Amino acid sequence: MYMNGSEYAVLMATPTDLKQLTLGFLLGEGAITRATTVERVEIDRREWVVRVQLSGEFDSTRKRGLVTSGCAAVALYKGAFGLAGVGRVRSRLRLGAGEVRKLVSRMIRRCDTYQQTGGIHSAAIAHKGGILLFAEDVGRHNAVDKVIGQAYLDSTELSDKVLLCTGRISSEILIKAARSGLPVVVSRTSPTDLSVRLANKLGITLIGFVRGGNVSIYSGMQRIVD
């Protein structure tokens, strides 16, 4: 990945939805915001290079090196768990535990590549009525980046939306959600201890182990109405 002509990062990912992945990754890092003017994103599939051109200057000293499909990239790079410039998430969203279970069930029904391979993660952005955006990738962070990147391209307001994941909820995913203003993060599996602490700090409702009739709420209970 090149930013304004300077090499910035190397990503290990499933090579689909690369524009969305790029923009979601940069948003999750804080390298760009929704107010940043991205002039173009060029995808070169022969060399597997992405070139991003911003309208303003970009600090190329922030470049990172290799980012694998499952590393603790954001937290390790930024220091202090990558919280610089990240504020508490404000939202009036309320939903029931039954609605959470239905949303996860709907996401799982769309996991075609997982059904074929058994070795891929999925992520979705949803509202109370159903799934809005969906993506799959070998890396759980990448799948999240893809749906956040698509929301950016669609100018989708996220303060009343839910982030759904199939993989473990780590501190990096919590930070990605916070930077995007997502108030609720849900997974079929577990959160880490650090992600629970961050969710409380950032005002995010964190829900894990949504399987069958089970819903485990780790933070932000005020948004769950039953």
Reported as type and span, the H/E element at residue 74 is: helix 73-78
Instruction: Count CB-CB contacts under 10 A for residue 45.
Output: 9
pLDDT higher than 80, residue 74: no
Q: Would you name the residues annotated as active-site residues?
A: 71
pLDDT tens profile 85-135: 789 999 999 999 999 999 999 999 999 888 888 889 999 999 999 999 999
pLDDT for the residue 186: 98
Domain 97-223 belongs to what topology?
A: Cytidine Deaminase; domain 2 (3.40.140)
Radius of gyration of the chain (CA): 17
pLDDT higher than 80, residue 206: yes
Show me where the domains of the chain are located.
2-82, 97-223
Q: Does the global pTM surpass 0.85?
A: yes
Provide the H-helix boundaries in 50-139.
73-78, 97-109, 112-117
Statement: 2-82 belongs to CATH 3.10.20:
yes
Q: Which residues, listed in sequence order, are joined to residue 162 by a DSSP beta bridge?
A: 126, 184
pLDDT tens profile 28-69: 988 899 888 999 999 999 999 999 999 977 766 565 666 655
